[in-house]
Amino acid sequence: MCRVTPLYLAGSVSAVLLVAAACGPESAPAPTGPVTTAPLMSAAPGPGAYILRGAVLTSGAAMKGGYVGIVDGRIVAVSAKRPDIPGASVIGTDGILVPGFVDLHNHVPWNVLPRWHPRRFYANRYEWRDDPEYRRAARQPFDDLVDAHFCEMNAWGELRALVGGTTSIMATHGEHPCVHGLVRNLDYNSGFYGSTELDREHIIDVIGIPQDPAGRAQFIAGARFYITNPAYEALAVHVAEGTDALSEEEFSFLQSQALLNPKGVLIHGISLVPADFRAMASAGTALVWSPQSNLQLYGTTADVGAALDAGVEVALAPDWAMTGSGNMLDELKVATAWNQGHLGGRLSPRQLVDMVTSVPAHVAGIDDEVGALQAGLRADLIIVRGDANDPYGSVLRADASDVQLVVIDGVPLYGDPTLMLKFWPVSELEPVTIARGTKVLATGAAGVSPSALASGLRPLLEAEGTSLSSLFEVAPPEPE
């Protein structure tokens, strides 16, 4: 039996390339075993049963006034009338109840760094990775700190995601026991698989395709194992991140090796043409679109119109905060502007919201757990301030200041003090200052203190000649 080994790519943004060596058809690699044990989010203290009232974005039609009943971390009722749940208190809100955002493309620990402003556009990912300015501003500080301070860096990155409504995220940076869930880590510790052991995930995230023949042979063996093994639900690969022939060749390679498949999730796809998207649709392969970062680095983004025309499922995600958006709400604004300016408004507000909720959950094979507000699923949701008469439009216009509550596995972790105090004593809550107000985090349930993280990280980054990023970016760049 061969083994799957995580290998960091030189100069890579994050994550790992999983390489299977010497695997024949009768000898496949076993899934990586647990590194250690740690509590999952379902073990966090929180209310056993409660009901939230507000406008509800259901898997059917939006309810102007509705109820979501939650018991022991699961949604047990979604209805227009108050459900009968013994012992459950009703928490009235003036907001919109939305499924928690599912982010399938991020590089979490890098988000401690401030925004990097490239001075030119690049042809592919390898060009900017070799840019001396990028190395000075980002690569060197990250490399100097990550081995000793990964846990704090990753927690800060998760906080940045959380304040923008993300409840599930990918990817982490290797195997670390401290990754056990401020937000769900889909590729390392999601809590979906009935164990408190780490590294039992069924989603594989690959940073890129090797360029050398030996690396490609190993990549093929590993990819075929994950595609054919029923234990795995998704294989996400960063592909065609650029505008040149080298970027397009990555897709041609996948196609030539028959690696397009229903579990496939291609991240970026900037250089792809309509025929490529038709091949993806025929194979059931999805696309993750990251317009803000693409526009900042390459001056363009994936031909989402062609992807939609071909019938490809398209999810939306920020990539990372350094050149992408600081959170999913900000990336939704970029996608909304691109939809109006370049797609003729073909995507409805509901379709755009689906691209950060139900669509990524479906393409990652976790829509039996999250991605919608429906009975039986995990209680991962957010409440956003907005107009009940225009709920989807309100989500598109919202920023982090409008996030009133974030609930993961039924545990209210973050939000407005007025709502959080209905679940927690004031002693359990720490203020989090963002634009236009103050939120609070349930530090015991979350397992982190924002002020302590900031106090520890700020001098480390200043010693590297840079600064700690803000949890909330007031004015993200607008797409051209």
- Delimit the domains of the chain by residue range: 1-480
Query: Could you count the other beta carbons within 10 Å of the beta carbon of residue 25?
Result: 7
Closest residue by Cα to residue 128 from 240, 326, 327, 296: 296
pLDDT value of position 117: 95
Residue labelled with tokens 């790519």: 9
Is residue 21 classed as helix, strand or coil in its secondary structure? coil
In the CATH scheme, what is the code of domain 1-480? Answer: 3.20.20.140
For residues 464 and 29, the model is more confident at 464
CA dihedral of residues 308, 365, 373, 290 (deg, nearest 10): -40
For 299-316, the pLDDT digits (tens) are 999 999 999 999 999 999
pLDDT above 90 as % of the chain: 79
Q: How confident is the model at residue 187 (pLDDT cuts 50, 70, 90)?
A: confident
Rounded (5°) CA angle 212-147-290: 60
Predicted confidence at residue 257, as pLDDT, reads 97
261, 283 contact by CB (below 8 A): yes
Angle 291-298/328-342 helices, nearest 10 degrees?
70
The answer to whether residue 437 scores a pLDDT higher than 90 is no
Q: Which of 387, 384, 415, 419 is nearest to 398 (CA)?
A: 384
Residue 59 has what pLDDT?
84
Using CA atoms, how far residue 224 sits from 27, 210, 216, 259, 359, in Å, is: 12, 15, 12, 7, 24
Whole-number pLDDT of residue 18: 39
Distance CA 373, CA 377 (A): 7
Residue-wise pLDDT for 194-246, tens only, equals 755 556 778 999 988 999 999 999 999 999 999 999 989 999 999 999 999 99
User: Looking at the predicted structure, is the pLDDT value of residue 290 above 60?
Assistant: yes
User: Which is more confidently placed, 340 or 36?
Assistant: 340
Are 370 and 168 contacting, i.e. CB atoms less than 8 angstroms apart? yes
- Between CA 13 and CA 113 the distance in angstroms is 13
Is residue 406 predicted with pLDDT exceeding 80? Answer: yes
Which of 401, 396, 402 has its CA nearest to residue 435?
A: 401
Tell me the pLDDT tens digit for each residue of 90-119. 999 999 999 999 999 999 999 999 999 999
Distance, in Å, from the CA atom of 223 to the CA atom of 234, rounded to the nearest integer, reads 11
pLDDT number for residue 179:
83
Tokens of 50: 């409660």
Report whether the peptide linkage leading into residue 435 is cis, meaning its omega lies within 30 degrees of zero: no
The first and second tokens of residue 237, run together, are 């690969």
Q: Decide if pLDDT at 438 tops 80.
A: yes
Residue 214, number of CB atoms within 10 A of its CB: 10
Asked whether residue 416 carries a pLDDT value surpassing 60, the answer given is yes
Q: What confidence score (pLDDT) does residue 188 get?
A: 85
Lowest mean pLDDT among 43-52, 146-155, 161-170, 355-364: 43-52
Task: Supply the mean pLDDT for the chain.
Answer: 88
- Mean pLDDT confidence for 9-37: 31
Judged against a pLDDT cut of 50, whether residue 389 lies above it is answered with yes
Tokens of 284: 């059931």
pLDDT at residue number 29? 33
Residue 391 has pLDDT above 60, yes or no: yes
